[in-house]
Chain A
């Protein structure tokens, strides 16, 4: 679902904006699993668009947030930030670029999030790009090669991208159908960084950090996650995400019994198939004493 701002009268972003102000002191927590931070930095230096591939909930979005903070926190630009667009099948080029709105008797142009990022020089993150309509993905082509321009037909202008602007897209190759695969012409414009779920220890650390739960419980949740992921393709497409494990830990922190927290946080969220749920429940019960 696209969430983008309506321009307020005073021209400032309201609180619902997806644009993040990265001027806060602390970067969003991200535990690297390899050299992805170095690769991303290098790509940014060269302004090479980045494609993040990986399963649901493995930390792609968090990585982009983290990188946006790292990149922009050292700069003076107050506008330096991250525009996140969650793509869906009804997302059109207009939704991304902008449109005229009727305001009284006037028509007012409203920048879309992509245009805003291009103008202001921030990271634009198109999450699950393959979900978007084909026509909307084509408009990013001119932004992802040497031209770095955004033609806006309705305004009759061609916008040069801000020097700080970078396009980042993500998709999950695991459950996309052939029909929704990324077009080669789009795919080959990006530097691709592949993500996977973190290792057992890393995931435990992440859960610990995100929730403050005790280490043994975090390790248990990470173990549950690791085991359940082996079931991918047998009742549900992806493995259980780190995000779900964190939710379960947060529920435990709020006083919910470990079994129940895993039941609502992991078991029922992971699959609707009863036998798969039962199997996951058995694994959870094997790790967490009832």
Chain B
């Protein structure tokens, strides 16, 4: 035992309270029984006090611990810890003592020993990481304070001990997420044994997983273990997203995912869950089974299957889901629309409107009045014919607006709607009323639609929910009546009377001759009833506030795609003013309406909230609204066009013309097509260079002559029988008889008695497809030399020409001669960036003549971006096939191998692009199109040899020979 001097000296360093406590404790150790304990106690106190700031606070903790347990063994152990921890930082000691204070009450001695042992180990391996020790004891205090939790303490300590050997991150995360790591100890251990890093990832994400109840999902946990060897961060993230998006239905996918052998495919499946009909679990299960059935599928193919990106996957899903897609039937629907309406109508996909701003502002807007909108796919019915029926009814319903007089009267409809105080309510009512009339008229004119119409209406009714708010409920009743329900079937006691009225109003639409006038009259009646509660006693307190559109009942699905705004022409302010002021009765109704409402007082009829007598003074509010509208539009676009870049862009897009086409792409890795993978924009919005073509023609007289000579060798193709020839393959019987007769009659006979089969007609269509990739901006080398990327100095003026210039020159010259020959041809350029943006510039179509526009566009071809060849070749093939010519030729002028930033999973790999191009060329051949690839890439032999047969490509060494070579190729293909 230290001498009393030392003790006294120590005491002087303590405040009174602590001194008192110290004195009590030091005397409690009987020197005879445990001299060593007193020694250890005093030594520890001294160490703690000397350890720096917060030492008194820690000393206080130490006293508290000793008060609880002053057995020699305990003091020895604690003193050891103090000795170890007090050397470099007080925090671990403080945290240790805090924990111990708590642990002495709750932990078993053995558990305390285990914890302390691990702390030794952590300290040993990370002697200078005090934070780690603090986290350790914090985690213990936070998470293992109950006996229940401590049942997993040993396992947790085992994991922690193992992770001591790893990077600090592991332990830090384990301690930081102690609550979650505690509850998932078993799973962490299981994963950790396979891949500790995956286990750490799990620990980090465990909180999110816990919040989404994913840790209760056994199927999900199985997958974590299953794929832990590959790392599970992306899997966990995908699982979290899936659970967020799909809720309870995610369990189904978790369960099915265990059948899938690769993690990437599982993630693809989860990421695409929104495209799957999760409400049909059996179907999904069958689809997954189908995907995993072929065990020889490559990982890439499996991934594409579960991403719904391969043809086989999409087809399987369609088959199982009885799905009908718009793309499969668009052409038919377009033809039906044209046939029924007699107008040039385009069918558009509803979803595509939101994809790109350009779509809204560009070409689609240009023709919106003649557009019909349909959804991308329908699978709501079990049978495909009913899903198809949905499209058909939706199509005919929209066409009905044209067929039965609504479109022609939209000006009047617009006027009627705008005159109502609540125009959005009036619009809703009008649509419901007019839809009912259209359905009835359709039923009468096209009786074959009746069955499907009934089915769609019944389905629409079965899907409807009740309206809650007063007006909404009345509107819901109106919609239900428009779908064919009777008030009795609707069964609303509260609005029975109103339902009766509405039913009566809509019944006016039933007669087969009911026109738009009747609809407008019914609109007045319904609006009056719903908006103001007139005529009906039960609506004692009509709602004065305007009902917002968000409160309107949900639309009927087969009717919802009609764009009424698109049909309404711009309002004519002057017409409205004139009509409003001079003849209000005319605005409210016409002769028909006057007859129909003869029993009502005209003064009671309202224009919004104004009565007829008030109209004599003018309807200021409406006139103002109408007058302002065109001005606002004007200022919105034109005034700001100069300095507002987006506005200017919008204007430009508005003018631009293009059509969008979707093309499949061949993926050699999955050995399947990726359906609708590429979006090809057929554009005509090139900057013009009018002089280029004429300059090329005037500068290249000798080459033109050469090409002319070359093409002159082409002989007509089609054989035609020509009679009356001096010689030929067959004898012309008639001529022969005449010959004999003449001879017998002594007349000089005509000796032209033979028939010949002559080639007198050419039936050829050729499409020149020009590569406009960025590399065509490179300068061309002098004849016989390689292409140089550096400007050359050969003194020749043409030396600094670019590859694109040569391409343009070649097609310009040959087209000049082809015009003389009379062959059909088209000239197009292609470039783009990525699969969503393949640009296809139509400089000259088969139907165009080589006029100023085509010449200007050829001149305007400039280097752009990438070389994605597959889609342009498919598009060119489509155009060629459409010509119906006997000989169809596609000549591709390129300067390198096909490439794009997403042309295949590996940007640096050329194989994907080559394979797709090869497939596109093979497809062209299958469709009777002869193809030829001309390239100026010196290494072209390397890949063109794989892409096509030797007779179908040419690598041009001397690029200046391109025009003449092109003409030779042309002759070879078509001659």
Contact = CB atoms under 8 A, between A and B. Distances in A.
B737 interface: yes
19 contacts: A94-B734, A99-B734, A107-B741, A227-B339, A228-B339, A231-B335, A231-B338, A234-B338, A235-B335, A278-B329, A278-B332, A279-B339, A284-B448, A285-B448, A287-B447, A288-B447, A288-B448, A289-B447, A289-B448
A227 B340 contact: yes
Nearest to A105: B744
Nearest to B337: A279
B657 interface: no
A46 interface: no
A282 interface: yes
A286 interface: yes
B722 to A, nearest CB: 11
Interface residues on A, range: 20 to 34
A223 B446 CA distance: 9
Interface string B868-891: 000000000000000000000000
A286 B741 CA distance: 64
Q: Which of A100, A101, A227 has the most CB of B within 10 A?
A: A227
A288 B450 CA distance: 10
Contacts of B392: 282, 286
Interface of B: 329, 331-333, 335-336, 338-342, 392, 396, 445-451, 734, 737-738, 740-741, 744
A223 B335 contact: no
B332 A282 contact: yes
A275 B331 contact: yes
B339 A230 contact: yes
Contact of B332 (A100, A102, A275, A289): A275
Interface in A99-134: 99-102, 107
A86 to B, nearest CB: 19
Nearest to B761: A179
A94 B733 CA distance: 13
Interface in A248-290: 275-276, 278-280, 282-290
Given A102-B740, A234-B338, 15 more contacts: A102-B737, A220-B447, A227-B340, A275-B331, A275-B332, A278-B332, A279-B339, A283-B336, A283-B339, A283-B340, A286-B392, A287-B447, A289-B447, A289-B448, A289-B450
Nearest to B388: A282
Nearest to A285: B448
B347 to A, nearest CB: 12
Contacts, number: 67
Given A287-B446, A287-B448, A289-B447, A279 B734 contact: no
B520 to A, nearest CB: 26
B335 A286 contact: no
Contacts of A99: 734, 737
Nearest to B724: A92
A159 to B, nearest CB: 20
Contacts of A220: 447
B445 A223 contact: yes
Given A99-B734, A100-B737, A283-B340, A276 B335 contact: yes
A154 to B, nearest CB: 8
Contacts of A102: 737, 740-741
A19 to B, nearest CB: 23
Interface string A138-180: 0000000000000000000000000000000000000000000
Contacts of A279: 331-333, 335-336, 339
Interface in A223-249: 223, 227-228, 230-231, 234-235
List the 6 shortest-distance A-B pairs measured between CB atoms, nearest first: A279-B335, A286-B446, A230-B342, A275-B331, A278-B332, A227-B339
Contacts of B744: 107
Contacts of A230: 338-342
Contacts of A290: 448, 451
A234 B335 contact: yes
B78 to A, nearest CB: 89
Given A100-B737, A230-B338, A234-B338, A286 B396 contact: yes
Nearest to B744: A107
Contacts of A286: 392, 396, 446, 448-449
Contacts of B329: 278
B447 to A, nearest CB: 5
B178 to A, nearest CB: 66
Contact of B451 (A276, A287, A289): A289
Q: Which of B340, B450, B734, B740 has the most CB of A within 10 A?
A: B340
Nearest to A276: B335
A231 B447 CA distance: 21
A162 to B, nearest CB: 28
Interface string A206-231: 00000000000000100100011011
